[in-house]
Amino acid sequence: MQKSLNKMVKENKDDSFFEMVHEVVRLVPYGRVTSYGAIAAYLGAKRSARMVGWAMNASHGVNPPVPAHRVLNRNGLLSGMAHFNPPELMQELLESEGLKVVENQVQDFDQFFWDPAKELIL
DNA sequence: ACCATGACGTTTC
DNA sequence: CGAAACGCCATGG
């Protein structure tokens, strides 16, 4: 699954896809959330939402840090919580930013939704 | 080139 | 509401 550390280090100059994803996620404002699909769409590959999620897998330990807790699936579900340490951390982070989470789902998701393609101006 | 693997998304049952 | 079937596509073996 993960590249060998050796290869990782050797290629760490590119990471193009991961880099872009991380970049966008870092731009998500405090207290706002977005979705994998929105990010993928913003990057021009709206059918590659999976790749976005995959990129998040590589967001552990990168610098600067990536606020992965602000990235949810299309339903506002904390689909990535299983990858946090501990899993409850994701929800706690969101709640600490003023969001309400019930049953692993962000309330008023559409209200806090931040779409890079619409709110971000290059 | 083929196959498996996903922090996804949409549709259908 | 949950589960499953597809579609999608980058990466790795």
Chain C: nucleotides below 7 Å from protein CB are 7-13
Tell me, in Å, how far CA of A62 is from C1' of C6? 34
Complete DSSP assignment for A64-88 = S---GGGEE-TTSB-TTGGGSSSTH
Angle (CA) A79 A80 A84, round 5°: 145
Tell me, in Å, how far CA of A89 is from C1' of B6? 22
Cα gap A17→A22, rounded to integer Å: 9
The whole-model pTM stands at 0.86
Tell me, in Å, how far CA of A37 is from C1' of C6? 17
Task: Say yes or no to pLDDT of A60 above 60.
Answer: yes
- Helix (H) or strand (E) run with residue A24 in it: helix A16-26
Average model confidence (pLDDT) for chain A?
Answer: 86
A90, closest nucleotide (Cα–C1'): B7
Note the pLDDT of residue A22.
92
A39, closest nucleotide (Cα–C1'): B8
Which residue, chain included where needed, has tokens 């059918």?
A47
